[in-house]
Amino acid sequence: MFSKATEYALRATIYIAQKSSITHKLSLAEIAAAIDSPPSFTAKILQLLTKDNCVINSVRGPNGGFYITEKSKLLPLKNILEAVNENDLFDKCILGLKKCSETKPCPLHFQYKPIKQELIHLFQTNTIQEISEKADNEYLFINNSI
């Protein structure tokens, strides 16, 4: 479904939303450990999420790290996909045609369309905050711990 980069981006953002605040920033090492991702690769992805502070924020130096603002927590998950450039999933044809279109549909288009709509809905309506709180309250998992 998603690339590794996107999976790490989603898990990392959920973790940051669970654990960070402006006064308690999280280090790359902590985040990567918490979500079972390769630290160096995760660093690249966090950079994308930090770009223009569009999803998360960061500060360098001692006691620095990554955090998310209350305002950013209200963003839908879709913004995470946009930040890692995987937003186009929802425009793609399931059979790989260059354009998914109503006027030149593939043989699965009209059956796939409602499913795609539900996927879009899932990522557009759920905010980072909602999902991270749910994960917190219901003990849901964002790593492969035993």
Partner DNA sequence: ATAATTAAAGGTAATTTTGTCCTTAATTAT
Partner DNA sequence: ATAATTAAGGACAAAATTACCTTTAATTAT
**Where along the sequence are the contacts to a second copy (CB under 8 A)?**
1-2, 4, 7-8, 10-11, 14, 89, 92, 94-99, 104-109, 111-112, 114-115, 118-119, 122, 126, 131-132, 134-135, 140-144
Q: Considering beta carbons, is residue 6 or 57 the nearer one to a second copy?
A: 6
Phi, psi torsion values for 102, nearest 5 degrees: -75, -30
Residue 57 Cβ, how far from DNA at the closest point, in Å? Answer: 8
Q: Is residue 90 a contact partner of residue 120, using CB atoms and an 8 Å limit?
A: yes
Q: Does 122 bind ligand FES (CB under 6 A)?
A: no
- C-alpha–C-alpha distance, residues 30 and 136, integer Å: 17
Q: Which is nearer to ligand FES, 25 or 78 (CB)?
A: 78
Q: Is 133 helix (H, G, I), strand (E, B) or coil?
A: helix
For residue 130, the minimal CB distance to DNA (Å) is 25
Q: Report the residue from 33, 106, 120, 135 that binds ligand FES according to the rule CB under 6 A.
A: 106
Backbone angles phi, psi at 127, to 5 degrees: -85, 160
DSSP β-bridge partners for residue 132: none
CA–CA separation, 18 and 7 (whole Å): 17
One-letter amino acid for residue 144 of the chain:
N
- Choice between 58 and 133, CB closer to DNA: 58
Where do contacts with ligand FES occur on this chain (CB under 6 A)?
93-95, 97, 100-101, 105-106, 108-109, 112
